[in-house]
Each structure stands twice: as C-alpha cells, then as structure tokens.
Structure 1
Amino acid sequence: MGPTGGAHRAAPVLWRADGTPPVTVPRDPAREAARRELAKRMYHENDPGLVRRALNAFWDWVGGLLDSASSATPGGLVGLLVIVLAAAALLGALWWRLGTPRRTPPSSAALFEDRPRSAAEHRAAAEAHAAQSHWSQAVQERMRAVVRALEERALLDVRPGRTADEAAIEAGNALPGHADRLRAAARDFDDVAYGGRSADEGTYRRLAALDDDLARTRPRLTGSSPAAVSNTRRGAAG
C-alpha cells in the first residue's frame, strides 16, 4: 500500500556488516545484565564511604528539621534563630545568677576524712590553696581549722565522724555570739564539699575572719560542752 495508505510502514531492520541478523535481548534479561555491569567495583571507586554517607544523611535530616521548624515559626528561619538566641541568653543569665545547680547531699558527711592534723596545719593548707585562688579547697581546710581549734581549746569534744553542722551547733552553745556565723560557715562547707557548688574569695575571707574572731573570744561556760566545763574545773582546782 502507498505512503498515503492507512497502514503504518514497518520499522527497518538493521543488519550487521557481515550480513547476519542483529542480536535481540528481551527486556528483563537486559535489565539484569545492566545491573550486574553497574555493580562492578570499577564504577564505585569514587563513591563516598559509609561514614560520609551517614553524615550526609544526618545533615539532610537536620536541614529538614530546621526547614520544618522555620516554616512553623513566625519570620521563618530568622525568627527561629532569634528564639534560639533568646533562649540561650536566658539560660546563660540564670546560670550566672544562680551558679552551679545545687545538689543536696543525701546526708552530711564527716568533717575530717584523713589523718588527724592540727588547726595550724589546716590553716596553712587553707592559705596555700587561697594563694593559688583555689577557693573551694581553701574553704574546706579553713572550716576544718575552725573545728580543730575548738577541739584543741576543749570547747568541743574530739569526736570522729562529727559533721560540720553538728560542730557548728555544739560550738554555738559555748560561743553564742558567733552561733549564726558558725551555722553559716557549716552551710558553706557542705555546699562546697558535698553540694557541688564552687566557693569564691568572699566566702573564704568570711570564714577566715570567723576563725580569727573565735580565737579571741572567751567561751560562755553555762551550757557549754562537757569538755569545756571539765577543762575549766581542772584549771580552777589547780
């Protein structure tokens, strides 16, 4: 039928140069052959490694998360950035104002943990820490010096396992004029030693001043510790 007829002209068949017909491969076997060919190592020598692919996937996820957050935030990405910076500034201000979060110890631990030392030795250790601006260690050593000095003056019984709070209460009975300062010093000691807070120079200077004032203060015998009363009586009998 002519070119203007209703039937379509068949596609020409291309023959090889040697006159043999071309090789035709069905679709599915051809796809499998192509897959095996592309799976060869030579085609993947420059592919990113496992770590790189994992990082790319992670950053794609972060980018999608930020895009979703920015689309839901007034002002888009700029508005999201302003909110994040405001939150960071608020947290920084709270941290600066309140300091390290206080962890309340389950119970007060013993004041002295190592071999017995004199009040003078504890004071020397405190001053050495203070000279290096190690205020937390200086506060702990100075509080130990305060309690040891009261024991050396027989205003407190020498009792292993005594806590700073117990020492402050007992010493306050013999030295009522310093009872409040003694309790405050015990709280500072507990906060630093067991509560996770950091001391500063002002805390140490207040404790050092208390130590000096206690050394110049005469005890009140009425209601004082049994050791102080017994020591006074022995002195009077002599």
Structure 2
Amino acid sequence: MRTGGLVTRAAALLPGAETPPVTTPREAAREAAERELSKPIYHENDPSLVDRALRAFFDWLDDLFGAAAGATPGGAVGLVAVVLLVALAATALWWRLGSPRRTPTTTGRLFPDGVRSADDHRAAADAHAAAGRWTEAVQERMRALVRSLEERTLLDPRPGRTADEAAAEAARSLPDHAEALRAAARAFDDVTYGGRTADADTYARLRALDLALNHTKPLLTGPTA
C-alpha cells in the first residue's frame, strides 16, 4: 500500500500528467511563422532593391563575358582583342561620319532663311570669320557663292536647291572649277548636316573659290561631249 501511494503521488507531480500536450495545426503554424518573420526587425540588414538589381546585372554580365570568353579563340585575351577592334571600328566610323544627331538641324535647303544678296552673305561670312565662328562662316560663304552665280544668271534661282545640286549645275558652265565646287559642297554638308566643325583653312579655300568664280568667264555653251 505504501509503495502504491508513493507512485501515485509521484505521477501526480509529473508536469502535464493530467493535461495532454498542446498541438497546433500545420497551416496555422506556418502562418504564424510567416507573420513573425515578416517583422522589420528580421530585415534590417537585407540588401535594397537597387542592390539586388545591381547584383543580378553584374552576375548576368559576368556570365555573358564568361560565355563569350569560352567561345572566343584565345579565351579572355581573344575577347579583349575583339572588344578593342570593335571600339576602334566604332571610333573610325564616328570620325568619318561625324557625331549622330537626333533630328536634322535644317530642312536640307541651301537657303533656309529667305532671299538675301550675295554681298549680304559675304558680309555675314566675314563677320563670322572675324569672330572665329568658322562653321557659320563656311555656311554663309557657300551661300554667297551660289547666290552670286544666280545673280549672274549662271544658275536659275531655286529656293529648294541643295549645295550638291548647285555645285553640279554650276560645273556645267564652269568646268575648270568642277572639283573645287564639289569640295565646297561637301564642306558645307559636313558642317551643316554631318556634325563636323569647320576651321580657318576650310573657310579660306571657300573664300578663294568665291573670289575666283567672280573673275571666271563661264562656258555658256556647256562642255562638249
């Protein structure tokens, strides 16, 4: 009897002897864990969205260069050589064509501002040249040259004429200056549409051509075939 009583009292003192353990459903436990882990305290040191985006970008870039290096003869050294060649080709193309422009600066006409005399264009060209504005000086001198030919009736006045068209038409009656006229038209187009910057030498050649044409007798009958 004494032993049985001791066992009964010991069993009564055991924790949870009369209460079954508490169990939580799996779905409720998961939701509780998610709520707990969503608290800001657990995310204070997480990388920002920008950091994650940059890390993903650099990982992609690393994979890309790794794949390119593996496919290029010579591995990484060969890839560097290819990149340098592409850069050199792009630089040469930019130098040849000039810097790209989003929209044209003019409509393509030689005279976008209406009718002015050749002397007016010459005066404007000289003023630009005196101020070191060689691009504007070249543009105005070319306009003076073409307007002078129109005033001498060697060219018919045509508002929509381009520099190339004027040079080609003028060369028919001034064949000795055909090459110089084409060069003048190219210089005008380069600085007006190609993004190039003119210099003093370009302006000096155009000015000399303008003065020479004023003293050149035209071939009125045109060149013989």
Partner of 1:216: 215
Other-structure match for 1:67: 66
Change (3 A) 1:133 1:84: farther
Greater Cα shift, 37-46 or 172-181 = 172-181
d(CA) in 1 for partners of 2:183 and 2:175?
A: 14
Q: CA deviation at 1:190?
A: 3.8
CA RMSD between the two structures: 3.7
Deviation at 1:210, TM superposition (A): 0.5
Partners of 1:114 and 1:182 in 2: how far apart? 22
> Is residue 137–residue 203 contact of structure 2 (8 Å, CA) maintained in 1?
yes
> 2: distance between equivalents of 1:175 and 1:72?
59
Unaligned runs of 5+ in 2: 1-13
Give the C-alpha shift of residue 192 in structure 1: 4.0
TM-superposed deviation, 1:145: 0.6
Q: Which 4+ stretches in 1 moved above 6 angstroms?
A: 17-21
Match in the other structure for 1:141: 140
What is the identity percentage for the equivalent residue pairs of Structure 1 and Structure 2? 60
Looking at secondary structure, tell me which structure has more helix per residue: 2
Which amino acid letter does the alignment assign opposite residue 87 of structure 1? V
Quote how far apart the aligned CAs of 1:173 are. 4.1
- What's the CA shift string for 1:99-125, capped at 9, x where partnerless? 43899x9xx943211132222221232
Report the 3-state secondary structure (helix = DSSP H, G, I; strand = E; otherwise coil) of the residue aligned with 1:177: helix
Cα displacement (A) at 1:171: 3.2
Please give the TM-score of this superposition, normalised by the length of structure 2: 0.68
The 3 A distance-change label for structure 1 pair 47 and 183 is same
> Is the 2:191–2:198 contact (alpha carbons within 8 Å) kept by the matching residues of 1?
no
Could you tell me how far apart the structure 2 residues matched to 1:149 and 1:38 are? 84
Aligned with 1:100 (options 90, 98, 101)? 98
Give the AA of the match of 1:167: A
Aligned position for 2:114 = 115
| 2:179 paired residue number | 180
Cα distance in 2 for residues equivalent to 1:18 and 1:130: 107
Give the match for residue 86 of structure 1.
85
Structure 1 29/75 Cα, relative in aligned 2: closer, same or farther at 3 Å?
A: farther
